[in-house]
Amino acid sequence: MTASVETVDAVVVGGGFGGIRTVDLFKNKLGLDKVVGIEKGKALGGTWYWNQYPGAQTDTETWVYRFSDDRSAPNWNSRYLKAEQLQEQIHDTAEKSGVLDNYIFDNSVVSAHYDEESKRWNIVTDKGRQFAATYLVTALGILTNPYVPDWPGKDVFEGEAFHSARWPKDLDLTDKRVAVIGTGPSGSQIAATIHPLAKEVTVFQRRAQYVVPINNREVDEAEKQEIVANYDAIWDTVFTSRFAMGFVEGSKSALEVSEAERQEVYERVWNKGGGFRFFFETFADIATNEEANETAGDFVRGKIASIVKDPKTAELLQPTGLYGGRPLSADGYYEAFNEPHVSLVDISENEIAEITPTGVKLEDGQTFDVDVIVYATGFDGVDGAYRNIDVTGRGGVKLFDVWKDESNALYGVSVSGFPNLFTVTGPGGPFANMLPTIELQTGFIAQLVEEAQARQQPVDANAEAQVRWSETVQEISKLTVFDKVKSWIQNDNIEGKKKYSAFFLGGLQTYDSKLNEEAAAKYPSFEFSA
């Protein structure tokens, strides 16, 4: 028996912030009748559904890690929310906007084919659900597809091994020897959090990172009231800044002030906490001027040397390269290495060769017996989220054939040849606080859909405009230190992936202006096809 095909106005893939916002706009603003949200997990939450390892939390302050129209009385009490609270927030936001019932769960979209005759997307899930939708929105998230290097022996390990984004609920670490492989945001948060629970923690570090304290703390009633009273000003700061984190970004060069002032600024923001603040609130040119960048790096190296007691470990933890990529923050990361049962293994020149039945083996033959292995080894980021879906557009063209050398979507949301497909946080979108980014993108997508509805024509990016956007994205990236620091932002964290910037690094304000110009001029960079 063939499953029946449900004909709907729109399918929105993903039950994270991007998905629920799109369903809300399509349903409540555009008044589309049938909008179906499809989520692979068993509940809403997206990134925050999957990433629930110990210590998982945002590093964007709670009051701006939400949509700007969510100005209700705060029901939160801390500066940053933990993963499970964020999952709750997503659920509550979806409930408030009345979109919970639009979702089906436990279904992964495996294919989406555009049918030129019916002008609809035929969408199939792994559970055999089929939809024919006028609009398809992929709100897949940017860090969705876990990456674990292809080490031999992964399947013979006799303990528990898992990627950081698949942490087993209720895993008991008592008396366990734990290997944490990877020292990015996930690995550093995990190492900083689990050591009081485990018997031994061994951190495998290929490259040292700059980790700033995050300083999570309670927000008392008076502070909450002040935030609420200042919401207009706070949101103005968000939408008129480059990285949209809700603070005023540094305007001076790190090189134009005296050494004493520089140290005072770094010290003050280090104590305030937050990697983004340290990177963008201190000075204007840490991301663009290598000499300025070096001053920030020096400061963090000094902090590491003063925190970590064992000189050899302190030295290994001090990064030597440029400070760039996604700024990290975690409380107690460096302090953890002062614990007798926490150790650091430098694998920069002696990499992991294989996983054995009892642990981790390095190239030189050294072995480390453990009970648990955490692969905090990152993600096939941004376009990687699309790798498991067969997306086929006009003329039978596959998305990954178009994206094989360099993935790009016009403004991160639309790909030429894929009419009525909209990619929330797709490649080429802005690198900024995710919530305002999603808010701008979904708002723009809703406007485009409104226009397409009015014209009764499908819409996709104009091919030349998309190429120009892609060039702009890469050119701007080359002006920053991000271009020279290996990371998923540049797509060079994974073997075989071609390096290019996955993000528009020109700032959210500039990006917002571009979207506004497009809308005001009735979308000159898009094609409405007959």
Which span (15-23, 79-87, 232-240, 372-380) binds ligand NA7, by CB under 6 A?
Answer: 372-380
- Residue 45 makes contact with ligand NA7 by CB under 6 A: no
CB 169 within 8 A of CB 310: no
CB 345 within 8 A of CB 204: yes
Query: For ligand NA7, which residue of 11, 109, 352, 449 counts as binding (CB under 6 A)?
Result: 352
Residue closer to ligand NA7 (CB basis): 381 or 443: 381
Per rule CB under 6 A, count of chain residues that contact ligand NA7: 23
Question: Cα angle vertex 514, ends 493, 454, to 5°?
Answer: 110
Query: For ligand NA7, which residue of 60, 62, 107, 186 counts as binding (CB under 6 A)?
Result: 186
Q: How far is residue 461's CA from residue 459's CA, in Å, rounded to a whole number? A: 7
Residue closer to ligand NA7 (CB basis): 164 or 216: 164
Which span (96-104, 113-121, 185-193, 298-306) binds ligand NA7, by CB under 6 A?
Answer: 185-193
- Residue 376 makes contact with ligand NA7 by CB under 6 A: yes
End-to-end CA distance of the chain: 36
Residue nearest ligand NA7 (C-beta atom):
184
Interaction residues for ligand NA7, span 197-236 (CB under 6 A) = 206-207
Other beta carbons less than 10 A from residue 156's beta carbon? 11
Other beta carbons less than 10 A from residue 43's beta carbon? 13
CB 474 within 8 A of CB 504: no
Give 226-271 as a DSSP string: HHHHTHHHHHHHHHTSSS-SSSPPP-S-TTSS-HHHHHHHHHHHHH
Q: What is the CA radius of gyration of the chain?
A: 23
Q: Which helix (H) or strand (E) holds 469?
A: helix 463-478
For the sheet with 367-369, list strands across it: 352-356, 359-362, 367-369
- Residue 183 makes contact with ligand NA7 by CB under 6 A: yes
Interaction residues for ligand NA7, span 392-431 (CB under 6 A) = none
**Closest C-alpha among 295, 228, 242, 149 to residue 432:** 242
- Residue 10 makes contact with ligand NA7 by CB under 6 A: no
Interaction residues for ligand NA7, span 277-336 (CB under 6 A) = 326
- Residue 184 makes contact with ligand NA7 by CB under 6 A: yes
Interaction residues for ligand NA7, span 477-496 (CB under 6 A) = 486, 488, 493
- Residue 85 makes contact with ligand NA7 by CB under 6 A: no
**299: Cα within 13 Å, side-chain hemisphere:** 26
We find the least distance from the C-beta atom of residue 425 to ligand NA7, in angstroms, to be: 12
Amino acid (one-letter) located at 443: G
Q: How far is residue 240's CA from residue 237's CA, in Å, rounded to a whole number? A: 5
We find the least distance from the C-beta atom of residue 373 to ligand NA7, in angstroms, to be: 12
We find the least distance from the C-beta atom of residue 376 to ligand NA7, in angstroms, to be: 5
- Residue 14 makes contact with ligand NA7 by CB under 6 A: no
Interaction residues for ligand NA7, span 331-350 (CB under 6 A) = 347
Query: For ligand NA7, which residue of 60, 85, 295, 377 counts as binding (CB under 6 A)?
Result: 377
Binding site for ligand NA7 (CB under 6 A): 143, 149, 164, 181-187, 206-207, 326, 347, 351-352, 376-379, 486, 488, 493
